[in-house]
Structure 1
Amino acid sequence: MHPSRPAPTRLDLLGAMLRIRAYEEKIVAFHERGPFPHVCTSVGQEATAVGVVSALHPDDQILTNHRSAGHLLARGADPGRLLAEVMGRSTGYCKGRSGTLHISAKELGVILTSTIVGGELSLAPGVALSRSLLGGEGIVVCFFGDGAACEGIFHESLNLASVWNLPVLYVCENNQWQAFVHRKETMVGDHIAPWAASYGMDSLTVDGNDAEAVLEAATRAAAQVRATRRPFLLEAWTYRQRGHMEPHDQSYVDPAEIQTWLAKDPIARLEERLLASGELTREGLEALRADARAAMEAAADFATASPYPDPSELTAGVYA
């Protein structure tokens, strides 16, 4: 960890995951009540987001994909401003211009969120080259899914990062599903990590539903990237518990598969671990859950009460 940042405790990890889950449950609730903007949730992948982001330093930069809420919240994003952005309100991180699929938060080091599958992979080497030229210890972290790993840009990005010795920590959230297609239909073998060897790059696969394991693996991987200024591929083996996008639909998924993965829910696993160790009581757990829900209620109130952008700002920030 960064000298100025103490390592997160297990309670810290749980609290962060509960906030992410509560945020996305609030999104789901909005959808159930009526028309709401397009959103791709990351329910079930909270341990990967929290574990990786908790291993980063303040000067590290993040590029992420369409399932970005967990990464942003783990980085310290204000849920009210996030939700306002999704709802197209002027108080959002991009003043309501990006929606959920293109959020950028410069103050958090989040360069971009890309709705184009693999779009962040195409930009990661350029951002990392800039970091290298500017100096310093900061690294670039690029989140993507197994679907993006099956596109050509994945290979181009890793090849360039390796040839140019760029400080990129590639994080593949292998959540088993590529939109509406299972990964078994698009790739040979189960894992992405071994592919890195073709580019002279070290890699590791970690249980993406174990927040502590992810934090440990990400801390080691980020430290290696920081020290060697060479890229590294970290694959988190996880599962997307809801459909590709809201409103939720998983009619194309074997119910037995869903139940198998629900039994491995990352939040429930850490809760059980903390309860068994005595670090957390049932009452304390309920208090954490209530705090997370209350924070998202406040975020929803803020976003709903926020105004839409003024029409006079329509062309602001448009360069041509």
Structure 2
Amino acid sequence: MSIRVKALLSYAALVLIVLSIGFVFKSWWGEGATARDRNFVVEQGATLTSAARKLEEKGLIRSASTFTKFAAVLGSDDPVRAGEFTIPAGASASQILDILQHAQPIRRLVTIPEGMPSILVHERLRGEARLTGAVAVPAEGSVLPDSYSYESGETRTAVLKRMQDAMRKELDRLWAQRKPTSVVRTKEEAIILASIVEKETGKPSERRMVAGVYSNRLRVGMKLDADPTVIYPITKGKPLGRRILRSELQDKNGYNTYASPGLPIGPIANPGRESIAAVLDPAPTQALYFVADGSGGHIFANTLAEHNANVQKWYAIRRARGEM
């Protein structure tokens, strides 16, 4: 073979090597296929191969087979993580693999407001489209109202478990701080009474006072006469949307505190930290009554005569507003 031919072959081989290196560089480290930031979900149990196929389907990489081949040689051996990830615009195949293996998944929040009944907690969890799987309606009073983070693809039961674990932990903490003036004898009673306090006032500053009134009533054997306990067995905590009927006030169903003295047979909502704390340390008061004051709060009274006068003031406010 002539020197010229050998030179040409060597040159051709060098060109092939350069082209191969260029192909590898462009395919693995070069600018990627997506022109904008995109979110990508890796399902639970996904493999690199199945994730690569989905990346190709979504237009985030050009070839699943090329991606997996280069990943096996040039990438980490770590498995891909389940969750939702942000793939930046122009991310290379190498960057995408690193994101799926090592980045923190996007965490989202589901919020449970104070006083939300369990039937609505169930609806809220079902309404989070990025969560998966069925979930049962939680026991009333078992969920701590708060905001909870979750990853896309996580199960609803896993998120609910965190909510219930948080309630057990917080109840244990608050119970350890219970004052001698508290009338509740068990943690279950604390949740029941706290759920009534939660539904009776929307003003945080009133919670201990409302708890004080109900604590006084329980001590002397008076009925609690709490409207929310009448509504609960009818709607499971959802708004009634009308006035309470006389027959409903007289219905002995275990919850109605107009019909029976003492606490209801169970909670009527999921109370928040402040309401639980309030029943474990109620305000020192002689008050036995309270009624709305027209400003979103309540006015409290020690005697029935004082209370009746306050009720008449409330009626006058309502008549002035055209509500009566």
- The normalised TM-score by structure 2 is 0.23
Which protein is bigger by CA-based radius of gyration?
2
